[in-house]
Structure 1
């Protein structure tokens, strides 16, 4: 493994002509969430794992005013250009990273071959008065005016279960609390992204769309909307929640690796 830039890590394949995957993680996480998947792909595939802004070893977001998904893109593009990669890439994204992957494909920021997405939280595709949108706006608004610890507890427990944050080791809690400001920016970007379902209908690449059986209403609503929109989509459900790639990698990773093999 070598670092291409702060927070962007690269595992070259044995063959220069091998396929390329780009891994994009969820909010309140880092590229290390894909550790087991990287081990399975490394050697046979060029693997690029990205720490998104404000997470892992990545720099902080430069602006907190009107932060948007587009601000995540230059580092990713520059890293691929640095590697002089000519073949199309497969994007693997979870939650916030899944929403970013869809934007990269819809707006053709990268030459994308296929996408494997676990619950991309593209909340902006939901109608304002829909139950899913009302739920996620309630989560976002409940974090306003709270200190970083309370915000983090609310966010983490929503995507897991009540009491989850308090049960974590103090060191992990501290790391998460330190990322609370970026989580707020992520919410802003996801809720205010200008792309629409009509835009996502132009994503003609094969898409594997994974969802957890025990996930939240907001995430399920986004998956349903995208599944009805994306032209070449395969849907699979996992007996997990929204954090399935971290909590149930044994179930999630084979679905991703099988899809990649078939797509490439």
Structure 2
């Protein structure tokens, strides 16, 4: 069993779980928490090996299902349906939970979820051509400086790693092995888009108009598969839209949650 997760909480009302992107922490949701907490009970966990949790143990294998199961235990303790909001890796975790146990999800909101498995059935060669291998030539270097630079620049463009302040680079590298475990396992996932038809909650699927093509194609396929889904682009935003275009993204999330909340 995976350890429990550190979690920030605020507000009262129907529970909303905010799931952060890989390499980040629950701190990325501070502004959204402020916007939601007057009406909802907001819970923002740090994934395993992230944020205020202990680092993932050196040399211990990691699979994304460990984070999925840790969040599912939080939901079980809440003893009722929750609103799930996730960005990137957190969006993939949210989708996986909603697919595995749709009854526990009152609404779903994801931004650029990394559900790349949907690109294989049928195989989308155009989208997959733009996705670099998640594996390192030397697994011992997975999550290290060269791997992390490639990871950041896939999502944010050439030069984006070097443009980061050294303190931010070091923060990414501190959790690099865990991020490598997340990415290398989710990239082997082959869950087809049709399996996400099990998601019954109203779903808002967001993507940046400047996000990588493969990420936008994932959202397109999910939007066609999930019965009660709305696909909405965020104009001018890239993969980090929840941070760089937080006002636009947070407004969309807030409106979706209010429309899905119990009267």
Give the TM-score range, shorter chain. 0.7 to 0.9
The alpha-carbon distance between structure 1 residues 233 and 6, as it changes in their structure 2 partners (threshold 3 A), is closer
Instruction: Look up the match of 2:155.
Output: 159
Q: Per-residue deviation at 1:131? A: 2.4
Whole-angstrom CA distance in 1 between matches of 2:21 and 2:5: 18
Q: TM-score, normalised by structure 1?
A: 0.88
Instruction: Look up the match of 1:242.
Output: 239
The alpha-carbon distance between structure 1 residues 70 and 6, as it changes in their structure 2 partners (threshold 3 A), is closer
Whole-angstrom CA distance in 2 between matches of 1:164 and 1:181: 20
Instruction: Look up the match of 1:173.
Output: 169
Q: Per-residue deviation at 1:129? A: 5.7
Instruction: Look up the match of 1:104.
Output: 97
Alignment of 1:1-264 (within 5 A): 6-13=5-12, 18-61=13-56, 64-65=60-61, 67-82=62-77, 85-108=78-101, 111-127=104-120, 128=123, 130-136=125-131, 138-141=132-135, 143-145=136-138, 146=141, 148-239=144-235, 240-264=237-261
Out of 254-263 and 127-136, give the one that drifted further. 127-136
The alpha-carbon distance between structure 1 residues 178 and 109, as it changes in their structure 2 partners (threshold 3 A), is farther
Whole-angstrom CA distance in 2 between matches of 1:191 and 1:155: 13
Runs of 5+ consecutive residues of structure 1 not aligned to the other structure: none
RMSD of aligned C-alpha atoms? 2.2
Tell me, yes or no, if the aligned pair for 1:77 and 1:110 is still in contact at 8 Å: no
Q: Per-residue deviation at 1:253? A: 0.6
Q: TM-score, normalised by structure 2?
A: 0.88
For residues 56-94 of structure 1, give each alpha carbon's deviation from its aligned partner in whole angstroms, at most 9, with x where no partner exists.
1123446743x3322113332333444xx3331010001
Tell me, yes or no, if the aligned pair for 2:5 and 2:70 is still in contact at 8 Å: no
Whole-angstrom CA distance in 2 between matches of 1:188 and 1:10: 30
Out of 18-27 and 162-171, give the one that drifted further. 162-171
